[in-house]
Amino acid sequence: MYIGVDCGTQSTKVVVVDVERGAILAEASRPHSLIEDDHGRREQDPGEWISALRGALGEALGSVGIDPMAIRAIGVSGQQHGLVALDDKGEPVYPAKLWCDTETAAHNAALVERLGGEAGCLDKLGLVLQTGYTASKLAWLREREPQAYRRIESLLLPHDYLNFWLTGERVTEAGDASGTGYFDTRARAWREDVFAAIAPELDPDRVLPRLIEASEPAGTLRPALARELGLSSDVLVSSGGGDNMLGAIGTGNITPGLVTMSLGTSGTVCAYSPAPVIADSAMVANFCSSTGGWLPLICTMNVTSATTRVRELFGLDLETFGERIASASVGAEGVTVLPFFNGERVPMLPEASASFLGLSGANVTQANLCRAVMEGATFGLRYGLDLFGSLTEGASQIRLIGGGAKSPVWRQMVADVTATPVICPEVTDAAALGAALQAAWCHQHAHGVTLEALCTRLVHLDAASVAEPDAGATAAYREVYARYHRALAERHGLAP
């Protein structure tokens, strides 16, 4: 049996997987709180992740039929880009700044300029720095919290930090390291000259984690922790990775030809590539995968985080929210929402705020506002999908994951907006499953077991979730999506 952990923005989830039976035996989760303000600050206390992991792991292992001593390995997925800076005792010097933190937008712009603009970034890193990557967070900490900065002995990402707590080892792998902004995604190596431009006082050999291959273990479970949890002392902890990379594994997106789209707090679109990719747009990130390949990816910052704000504003539960959306027509009778409550990464508008446009006395209804915010979040993902160009042309299917994927009305909307059939894996919280699959691969690959074979055994598609594009709705959305582009041009000066 294997354990998969996904430490996201809102919660930490744990699954226990029996690979031989091809079954998930137990699931549990615990929530996190968020530190935020009106200036784009989004932070968390890393101690909350450990508390949540302890609680969720204890609940899952306590489930009927689980023998803790049968656990062979643990895999950890973590929200990408978060800056976890530790002192010489392994304690955080400052709360972790998260992927959705836009307080560092000015620092990111300055770094891009210092590296020679977009061309310089592509040359040095294989991608263009964006607000949200770890690099600008470190530059911000250096300028704004110099006392904390001077205490830094280690720089980790969220999943690295949980691996450190589990094993005592400071390691990382290329997938999650891709999103730091000081990692060459083509050479799969730290870019020390870029790191020096960000944090000249810090020695990269001392503060950066050791790079390991995706199939390598981060280490074994600390003996004291193994005893506390009732686990064997030889339980491996796999390399783990970012939530997008492990989510791709959890949907079986480890070979060319598939598209994974996530409707989570944020939204992502990714497609596997066996070689590095330099896309036409700087917004497509040439990330490495957590399988040894590459995972070109775009990320939008306002998906369920945006729909939840409107849903809670009206005091609606999820079922009623879905009913309101289904009762409104395509295009919400002219209401357009640019749902940039957290700023936005794609399109690249880190300092933007949300806009509700086209309102009139006739169309200001609860149903239209609910539908328009969901359409706005979906259009952002379509905008990103369009940026892939030939990378995703002719995709026969979108595999949809994340909390929003549980909504039938949202699945249909994605199918209609993208004109592509949609299907969900049976496990829509795919990052935790992907982490468990990677853990099994790490434990068994020496015996010839491939990740492809494990995905075939464990990644099951839910036939009941299929949404085929409706020809009439798809045609109607062409004009509504064009209206979204016109709104971007009028409000933010982006070419339609």
Q: What are residue 388's phi and psi, to 5 degrees? A: -70, -25
Q: What are phi and psi of 411, to 5 degrees?
A: -60, -45
What does the pLDDT read at residue 393? Answer: 76
Q: What are the φ and ψ backbone dihedral angles of 155, each rounded to 5 degrees?
A: -125, 115
Q: What is the pLDDT of residue 454?
A: 95
State the DSSP H helix or E strand holding residue 259, giving kind and residue range, or none if neither: strand 259-263
- Reading the block at residue 410, the tokens are 């949202």
Q: Element (H or E) spanning 355, and its range? A: strand 355-357
Catalytic residue status for 6: no
**Count of residues for the chain?**
496
Taking each helix axis from N to C end, the angle separating 471-492 and 408-418, rounded to the nearest 10 degrees, works out to: 80
- Helix segments in 37-168, DSSP class H: 46-61, 105-114, 117-125, 134-144, 146-150, 158-167
Q: Residue 7 has what pLDDT?
A: 97
Per DSSP, 398 falls in state E
Which of 6, 160, 243, 429 is labelled catalytic? 243
pLDDT score at 326: 98
Q: What is the pLDDT along the chain (496 residues), one digit of tens a residue?
A: 999 999 999 999 999 999 988 899 999 999 999 999 888 899 999 999 999 999 999 999 999 889 999 999 999 999 999 999 999 999 999 999 999 898 999 999 999 999 999 999 999 999 999 988 999 999 999 999 999 999 999 999 999 999 999 999 999 999 999 999 999 999 999 999 999 999 999 999 999 999 999 999 999 999 999 999 999 999 999 999 999 999 999 999 998 878 999 999 889 999 998 999 877 788 899 999 999 999 999 999 999 999 999 999 999 999 999 999 999 999 999 999 999 998 998 998 988 999 999 999 999 999 999 999 999 999 999 999 999 887 777 678 899 998 999 999 999 999 999 999 999 999 877 999 999 999 999 999 888 999 999 999 999 999 999 999 999 999 999 999 999 999 999 999 998 7
